[in-house]
Amino acid sequence: MRHHRSSHSIPEITITYALSQSPLDGPQTSPPPYSSPPPKPRLSASASKKLDEFVDLLEKVDRDMASEVEHVKQSIKEAREYAREWREERSARCAELLKRRGREGRE
């Protein structure tokens, strides 16, 4: 069976935001009233690029896994065919042996 080893490493992604936005920043307080929703944290260009690279890596892993699943399915099919052929040959050999013993017994 083939094994795929990827030389890709998972890119490091760092997302930073103000500590006041952290859910681990102590007791929960209700946010101050806003006339509009607070701005969403934005990824830096570097983090965005790393995120894109990570998504590309996940897609490649998905394709590799799908390919490997097809390879395993084909191997199972081949193994079943091999087992079927072996059983047929064994059955034919047993039938031939029984015929031979029957002829030898009558002689």
> What pLDDT was estimated at residue 43?
77
Q: How confident is the model at residue 102 (pLDDT cuts 50, 70, 90)?
A: confident
Q: How far apart are CA 15 and CA 54, in angstroms?
A: 14
Q: Indicate whether this model's pTM tops 0.75.
A: no
Angle, CA of 26, 28 and 30, to the nearest 5°: 140
> What pLDDT was estimated at residue 105?
77
Query: Which carries the bigger pLDDT value, residue 25 or residue 13?
Result: 13
> What pLDDT was estimated at residue 1?
47
What contacts 24+ positions apart, CB below 8 Å, involve 46-51? Answer: 47/13, 47/14, 47/15, 50/11, 50/12, 50/13, 51/13
Tokens of 107: 């002689």
Contact status, residue 70 vs residue 1, Cβ threshold 8 Å: no
> What pLDDT was estimated at residue 106?
76
**Residue showing tokens 């992604």:** 13
Angle, CA of 88, 94 and 100, to the nearest 5°: 135
- The overall average pLDDT reported for the chain is 80
